[in-house]
Amino acid sequence: MFSIPGKSPVTITPAAEAQIARLMTGKGAAGLRIGLKKGGCAGMEYTMEMAETPAPGDEVVEQGAARVMIAPTAQMFLFGTEIDYETALLDSGFRFRNPNVTDSCGCGESVSFAIPGRTAGA
């Protein structure tokens, strides 16, 4: 929908690829669906769920044994995002390095995006 021919809308690091493939195998799912919803102190939150089939309009990105399905309403906000999976001493999880984010909350759980056609402070 918002793709450039020959260019993936998101990139997946090897760590994220391995984790997505593990989740797909463990849950018997066809892939990880990523979307956005309103919420959090910055305005939007990423959503993730294991899915059995792509929904109509999903952009599907396959890399190795991993499959990511991007919900239609999130595609323009996620274009250019790198999806990573980090394991640390106190927490582990997916990380989104999204060039479209203009602000995020202190805990990193929610983000906001520039609204096309609107200037800062408007």
80 Cβ contact list (under 8 Å, min separation 6): 9, 10, 98, 99, 100
Number of domains in the chain: 1
CATH number for the domain including 17?
2.60.300.12
For residues 9-20, average pLDDT: 96
Tell me the pLDDT tens digit for each residue of 39-49. 766 677 889 99
- Domain membership flag for residue 20: yes
- Domain membership flag for residue 56: yes
- Domain membership flag for residue 3: no
Tell me the pLDDT tens digit for each residue of 58-94. 999 999 999 999 999 899 888 899 999 999 888 899 9
- Domain membership flag for residue 2: no
Task: Please tell me the pTM assigned to this model.
Answer: 0.80
Sheet holding 81-87, edge to edge: 10-12, 81-87, 92-97
Contact between 66 and 24 (Cβ < 8 Å)? yes
* Domain, as residue range, for 48: 10-113
As beta bridge partners, residue 60 has 69
